[in-house]
Structure 1
């Protein structure tokens, strides 16, 4: 019988050696997770309840916050359990599910950020046709595909990983991802190379599109003080969020493939957690403080006034 027939559990090695301070880590992690829920739910509820800001930019922002909650839910509950446990294991199906959630959330981030970049491009560069281009029906279609495409692409990668025959059960990380499960395959699979390569290329093009749109926007804004004001008010938060997401993911992806194994386990864990910690907290805070309408609605709600 092949070894794949008896592998039902994976071991996670990232939390070895934390016995003396695992309670402290648990409290800090739980606090971070609560903050993530607080700031994202605040933005989501504010946008849903206030009909005056039911505009494309805010609808995309609402979906970005929902995706932040979706991605972190795939990591933090299991991580919190592991912090209080002496055995760090995950079931085969749980590993594939966690990998699917984390991958699809990261991809959906880029899809939604592309929509936000396109929305700002039309608003600033083609303001006269903005409302005819960004109609309610078209925005709904954009959002539908922004979720469908990442889920479909990652699902295909997960199916390919699930069909691989495995000859190992050790994951050298604090969570599961398809790349590491695929490395346990007894024989290399062409599909395990082609599908991730396609996905990486597809979302690299997303980043290139956003970069091109912002170079065009910056050039356009330099000749108009009104456009400069629009850019600083609505585009700058989006640009900061994009940089945070890209840098956070690159840290982990580049280290996972090319990084030195001499780094301490704590540094490895921080790099692995960065895209699950920094963007979900910083993104809604940036928009909450920078976008005047969001900030005013939150202040009104906290002061007891009706939205």
Structure 2
């Protein structure tokens, strides 16, 4: 305890010295961020403007797009500045703010995918009761629960981490993360570990397990139905399955990276795996739902054609 300090700045050490390539990299990342904003805004505008899309599934898709904008903003603004900087120091308040934004973004994504799985389960397995069960009131409650619980639970984790006396300031990431900060602690972190395990279980593993359970039930129902029915189910569920699998892989890569000795990994590979977690889902989600769901695709094409000058 006597040697403990609370450094005013953290040093993000995973940034690789790429010399003059920093400028093309900055332009590429800026274009990617522009695409993230544009693509997700199109999804939000199309769903909000068209009353025919004011159905539970599309409301949840719109929430995913809002979350993509939220999470990418919490990371990319800072990342773009770091690309052009020779030093990668981030203030203590800014670091914990970034941790909160990125971790709530990750939790929101999983809880939203969980309630979307429930929506698909009711639509396929209990179609006659769908409109009675998936009412606007229930949808509002599910969305509120999907947002409020991660917001509170992640806040507890960040608060506990912010109170720890730290014996260093180096974070081996390109963004601030909770576990690397906790590992810098000069004192025991039993409470942080227990709370972190509980929050991870409730916001990550339970939604993942629930999605797997609902699709197992959907699969059992489809086994006994016609090819036409199976085709409709695949068309309806495939975008959600792609999003779920993609996000599960990115979460696994980030968790594995945080538990690995980064000195044994190629630095460029480590950066790519770290970026995948906060960049790929916001890019892929609007593409999957915009291109795969015919209702959204038709309305997007109609909007584009109407915006062209005569």
TM bracket, shorter-chain basis: over 0.9
Distance 1:105 1:3, change over 3 A: farther
User: How far did residue 222 of structure 1 move?
Assistant: 2.3
Q: Is the 8 A contact 1:248 1:275 kept in 2?
A: yes
User: How far did residue 6 of structure 1 move?
Assistant: 4.9
Inter-partner Cα distance in structure 2 for 1:201 and 1:98: 22
Other-structure match for 1:177: 177
Q: Secondary structure at the match of 2:259?
A: helix
Counterparts of 1:290-305 in structure 2, within 5 Å, are 290-304=292-306
Inter-partner Cα distance in structure 1 for 2:32 and 2:137: 37
Inter-partner Cα distance in structure 1 for 2:262 and 2:172: 13
Q: Secondary structure at the match of 1:173?
A: coil
User: How far did residue 282 of structure 1 move?
Assistant: 0.9
Inter-partner Cα distance in structure 1 for 2:182 and 2:206: 24
User: How far did residue 102 of structure 1 move?
Assistant: 0.6
Task: Supply the RMSD in Å over aligned alpha carbons.
Answer: 1.6
Matched, 1:221 2:222: yes
User: How far did residue 212 of structure 1 move?
Assistant: 1.1
Other-structure match for 2:42: 42
Inter-partner Cα distance in structure 2 for 1:16 and 1:134: 49
Counterparts of 1:95-114 in structure 2, within 5 Å, are 95-114=95-114
Other-structure match for 1:256: 258
Inter-partner Cα distance in structure 2 for 1:275 and 1:35: 17
Other-structure match for 1:136: 136
Write out the 4+ residue segments of structure 1 that deviate beyond 2 Å after TM superposition. 1-6, 258-261
User: How far did residue 2 of structure 1 move?
Assistant: 5.7
Counterparts of 1:230-241 in structure 2, within 5 Å, are 230-241=232-243
Deviations 1:50-88 (A, max 9, x none): 111100000000001111111111110000000111111
Structure 1: 5+ residue stretches without partners: none
- TM-score in terms of structure 2 length: 0.95
Structure 2: 5+ residue stretches without partners: none
Inter-partner Cα distance in structure 2 for 1:2 and 1:296: 65
Other-structure match for 1:60: 60
Counterparts of 1:271-290 in structure 2, within 5 Å, are 271-290=273-292
Q: Is the 8 A contact 2:5 2:168 kept in 1?
A: no
User: How far did residue 19 of structure 1 move?
Assistant: 2.0
Inter-partner Cα distance in structure 2 for 1:220 and 1:259: 45
User: How far did residue 3 of structure 1 move?
Assistant: 6.0
For these two proteins, the number of residue pairs brought into alignment is: 306
Q: Is the 8 A contact 1:2 1:165 kept in 2?
A: no
Q: Is the 8 A contact 1:75 1:98 kept in 2?
A: yes
Inter-partner Cα distance in structure 2 for 1:101 and 1:261: 27
User: How far did residue 261 of structure 1 move?
Assistant: 2.6
Other-structure match for 2:197: 197
